[in-house]
Amino acid sequence: MKSKLREVHVQDAVGLVLAHDLTQVIPGKYKGPLFRKGHVISEKDIEPLLDIGKAHIYVMELAEGELHENDAAERIARAAAGDHPHLEMTSPKEGKVNLVSSIDGLLRVRAEAVAAINQVEHAVLSTLRTYTPVRKGDIVAAARVVPLIYPEERVMQVEAIGRRSPVVEVLPYQSCRVGIVTTGSEVLHGRIEDKFGPVLREKLGAFGAEVISQTFSGDDRERIQQQIRSFLEQGADLVLVTGGMSVDPDDRTPGAIASMGAEVVSYGTPMLPGSMLMVAYYRGVPVLGLPGCVIHDEYTSFDVFLPRILAGERIQKADIIALGHGGLHSC
């Protein structure tokens, strides 16, 4: 038995239950539901319905194994969110349910699962890109189905995909204490003003990270290493070494980090700006060598990895290689 969907003229619809949301558009002022699913049509509703071009409406009786679009969208959204504590579901609106972040954090999306869900016929799950920093209240995903009436068996396919592992989640930023080591004899001796410190404090502050202090090492390799170790002894969760990242003979940062026994994930990335970034770990703590572009370019490879590190993720070589596709931001 299939659902019964009847088309009724609005003049004959008084007392009948509306089968779906009806949208009203007032250009430049409003777009949203005039009446929602389940509304009982009254005499006073006839003129507003005619005003939005609805001379006929649908009333519906669902058969076993069929779902209204709102119910299907709710179940798809719930499957995507799982039991993740930092996501909230909105009420259905015009057949769509949004997932909203309840915290400031880093969005992580299992892209292959999103693709699998969208391969289920007429199921729709749309998300922001994985590893997008989000704020409390941001919509991070939306679920819906294409037809008004949707087979429950397809929703069950989506739910099976969601049970394998989280499809959409928001990772909270962890408490992080950061040490900044600034290289360059020209900065140490006051020949030029340090520009890194203010920029980094602003970037770190946006994620709630605390700067322990900033030290100045010049271009002395042993001094760079000593200052990195000093920050670790002070309990730093992240050390940023600024400048000295090119191939010039006075640029000692990469060698200093590597020769102190750090695990170098990569020196260099396939992203512009930020191709000279160094990502390493020393005694389990991330140590990043920052190129000069961090000062003057709004978005670099450092900005890609900083929120991931602050959310507790360990950067892998594959993450760096993946920057090449879509990594050209300036040249």
Which tens digit of pLDDT belongs to each residue from 243-260? 888 766 556 899 999 999
Residue of 248 and 298 predicted with greater confidence = 298
pLDDT at 251 (0 to 100): 66
* pLDDT for position 191: 84
- The yes-or-no verdict on residue 1 having pLDDT over 60 is no
Residue 2: per-residue pLDDT: 67
pLDDT of residue 207: 97
Break the chain into its structural domains and give their ranges. Answer: 4-61, 66-171, 177-324
CATH class of 177-324: alpha beta
- Top pLDDT among 130 and 13 is at 130
- Cα separation, 160 vs 22, in Å, equals 32
Tokens linked to 196: 């890194």
At the second CATH level, the architecture of 4-61 is Alpha-Beta Complex (3.90)
Inform me whether the pLDDT recorded for 4 exceeds 90: no
For the chain, what is the mean pLDDT? 93
Say which range, 77-86, 187-196, 230-239, 266-275, has the weakest mean pLDDT.
Answer: 187-196
Predicted local confidence at residue 250, as pLDDT: 52
Contact 295, 195 (CB under 8 A): yes
Fold classified for 66-171: Aldehyde Oxidoreductase; domain 3 (3.90.1170)
